[in-house]
Amino acid sequence: MTVSASSISIPPYEVDECRGVLRVYSDGSIWRSSEPPFNVPVDDDGSALWKDVLFHPVHNLQLRIYKPTASTPSAKLPIFYFIHGGGYCIGSRAWPNIHNYCLRLASELEAVVISPDYRLAPENKLPAAIEDGFMAVKWLQAQALAENPDPWLTHDAADFSKVFVSGDSAGGNIAHNLAVQLGAGLPDLAPVQVKGYVLFEPFFGGTVRTRSEAEGPKDAILNLDLIDRFWRLSTPIGATTDHPLINPFGLASPSLEHMKLDPILVLVAGSDLLKDRQEEYAQRLKKWRKKVEYAEFEGQQHCFFTINTSSEPARSLMKIIKRFITENSN
């Protein structure tokens, strides 16, 4: 009996993997773990309250809201978005490192913190995540206009005129793209007013290697192999990492020189392979007379502030954010 090659069934095999929580197979199927890739205990000292809210029913996306327990009763709290990272492929508002950091942000910044989820690649390649980030901000506008908003977001409790959008790594990339999309002082979000953006180690890319990428240590938390893998899985089909959503200075990217942008704070880990891209981003914006600040933390690795929220560099970073909010709230 002759068996044709076409009749032999080859079982699916793994073609891509990310930190043990995402596996992509040859037949296109995807497996995701419900657990994070690391064991971090939740550090909840009671200084902030939190709850989950559905903000995007179509895609069943939730956000987590935090508020400090010890805020001044008569004072309205600023609103601070924190969009998680994960190379656009992994991560969640519920991962303990993100949750711990948002608890600390709420208590130390004395702010309402909003941490949204977004659709992940490769099931949902870019621009899906950025669209979801925009919808998370539009959700806040709907709350501001609602007759019966969420009790934590009433006009007596939250200050919709003092909103800051931040994100870590891929979340920092989302924050940048929202800054470009929303511009400065546009009325599209009224009565919500975005006062500034905080980009924690923004995840930018490009087809030409930077020095920090090419010479960075192979054992870095975010090494070059993982960077390439994240972009391979999340880049729009047919595009390269010079796509405008990935590389702010790619050939097809709109020039930021004449755009009106709200103030931007760029926070960088000195030993991060993405450092050169982040530094160039801040330098170009400064050259074009944008209101941008740059703070680099020497010797620190990617995500150092969520790995150890109480470290001295993480405390210094928090002080910089607090000052940025104060200086740009008026």
Cα–Cα nearest to 84, from 60, 116, 127: 116
In Å, how far from its chain's centre is CA 262? 17
Cα–Cα nearest to 267, from 230, 294, 232: 294
Of 117, 132, 159, 272, the catalytic one is 272
Of 169, 212, 234, 271, the catalytic one is 169
- Reported in sequence order, the residue ranges of the chain that DSSP labels E, i.e. its strands, are 14-18, 22-25, 30-32, 48-56, 61-68, 77-83, 112-116, 158-168, 194-200, 264-269, 292-297
Q: List C-alpha distances in Å: 186 to 139, 181, 265.
A: 17, 10, 20
Contact call for residues 235 and 171 (beta carbons, < 8 A):
no
Of 84, 99, 176, 302, the catalytic one is 302
Determine whether 169 is an active site residue: yes
Determine whether 311 is an active site residue: no
Determine whether 84 is an active site residue: no
312: which 2 tokens?
A: 């001295």
Query: Which residues does the annotation mark as catalytic?
Result: 169, 272, 302
